[in-house]
Structure 1
């Protein structure tokens, strides 16, 4: 086995360290670490009835690219639910998404919507929910499939405020973030 020269050893070491740091940066918390947090988030209770959300989309640099308001109405029949979302963006454009949700018990949820590719999957524990899905996003006449990693946190004992932070990525590259504050009447 040949020995590497000191400059090559340093370069290889730096490359390995960089790769390890990138992998560590990709790691995210497990939803189970929030199991003891209160108040407990139960989607069938929170997403039942009318509510409003206000949000922003920020690009990779953190610049706000879009602001929006969402009017939501949720209805459940046993473990099956429908969540209607009507978006109004600051530029006047509108969008509608209708989620069909299923509560599988044990904090596990799935969902489908017309612009979601396949099935969204979620896991709740304590006051948190992690919700992951692929969205078919129209951009300049093309449709991009982008991945969303949503984290929702129920904030108050009255169960009226929930915060949502979602990372949007493509091919593992972070494109931006969506931040929302949900408010129930």
Structure 2
């Protein structure tokens, strides 16, 4: 990932949002502060079923971009996924464009009703997921080693099922509420035979 932490964020967008209050009124405060929710996608199809999509081999291609939008890393992820009842194992193997590799093994629990939790060796505590319609929001804190120091960074992942084979993923990485960059992934699941 990004080798250095970025400087303080550009506050112009926040100031523009707050400045609009004087022109438009207090009603715009909700527009500035509202955040998307999985429930916003409840009517979208096809419906995302993690146990069905992440079953067998899944391939993903992605990029990490810094706060300015510059691509810092490209990578391919090969995932081997299996489920035993409500418990899933997602074994991710990353191959980066610089030749480095990484592995993360998730244990995911389907609690029903669109609620998921997950753990992995480099994730602090438990990841929390909520799904509705074709979307999943997945939040967690990753322990990210950089030059001998481990930083805890937060990920806010959004996954959108496009069809039976393709899912898109956009994740915002932040620290202390400051946006550090984004990860964009395109998952591809081979067609069932």
With normalisation by structure 1, the TM-score equals 0.87
1:17 paired with 2:18, answer: yes
CA shift in 2, pair 1:32/1:62, >3 Å: same
1:81 paired with 2:122, answer: no
Q: 2:141 aligns with which of 130, 134, 149?
A: 134
Assess if the C-alpha contact under 8 Å between 2:169 and 2:184 holds in 1: yes
Alpha-carbon offset, residue 42 of structure 1: 0.4
1:39 paired with 2:40, answer: no
**Alpha-carbon separation, structure 2, partners of 1:170 and 1:26:** 19
1:116 paired with 2:123, answer: yes
Q: Pick which of 22-31 and 117-126 moved more.
A: 22-31
With normalisation by structure 2, the TM-score equals 0.83
Deviations 1:120-167 (A, max 9, x none): 0000000000000000001111000000000000001xx100000000
RMSD in angstroms over aligned alpha carbons? 2.0
1:181 equivalent in structure 2:
186
Deviations 1:16-62 (A, max 9, x none): 93597898555421110100000000000011000100000000000
**Alpha-carbon separation, structure 1, partners of 2:46 and 2:79:** 21
Q: 1:71 aligns with which of 61, 69, 78?
A: 78
Structure 1's unaligned 5+ residue stretches are 1-13
Structure 2's unaligned 5+ residue stretches are 1-14, 22-27
Q: How many residues align?
A: 170
Q: 1:93 aligns with which of 68, 90, 100?
A: 100
**Alpha-carbon separation, structure 2, partners of 1:57 and 1:131:** 17
Assess if the C-alpha contact under 8 Å between 2:165 and 2:188 holds in 1: yes
1:165 equivalent in structure 2:
170
2:7 equivalent in structure 1:
none
* 3-state SS of 1:32 partner: helix
1:29 equivalent in structure 2:
36
**Alpha-carbon separation, structure 2, partners of 1:141 and 1:75:** 34
